[in-house]
């Protein structure tokens, strides 16, 4: 399975943008662990926010095309205390 990792610093906000935002209905949802404090939150518009909690969470992104095709992407977000730069890396 291929996917993406975003290394992310705590107490930040980031807007997730896809190339399908104008052509499809894009939804965002955090896939969480039951019983654990959330590491991130994501709004229906793709605004990703993190608090002071360190850890990992996955964001499920679905682009629903008008003609019935759905595209799905899962992004792993790793929140740490110090991140010097944003980096996306493929998972193999």
40's tokens: 């991130």
Per-residue pLDDT tens digits for 7-59: 888 888 888 887 777 889 999 999 976 677 789 999 988 999 998 888 889 99
Domain-wise residue ranges, the chain: 3-84
| Residue 28 pLDDT | 94
Domain range 3-84, CATH class: mainly beta
Whether residue 90 is predicted with pLDDT greater than 70 in this model: the reply is no
Neighbouring CB atoms inside 10 A of 32's CB total 14
21 compared with 85, residue with greater pLDDT: 21
Q: What is the pLDDT of residue 1?
A: 42
pLDDT at 79 over 60: yes
């Amino acid at each position: 399975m291929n996917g993406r990792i975003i290394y992310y610093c705590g107490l930040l906000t980031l807007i997730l943008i896809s190339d399908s935002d104008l052509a499809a209905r894009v939804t965002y949802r955090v896939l969480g662990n039951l019983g654990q404090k959330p590491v991130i939150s994501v709004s229906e518009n793709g605004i990703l926010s993190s608090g002071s909690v360190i850890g990992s969470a996955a964001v499920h992104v679905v682009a629903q095309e008008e003609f019935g095709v759905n595209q799905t992407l899962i992004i792993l977000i790793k929140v740490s205390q110090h991140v010097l730069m944003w980096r996306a890396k493929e998972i193999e």
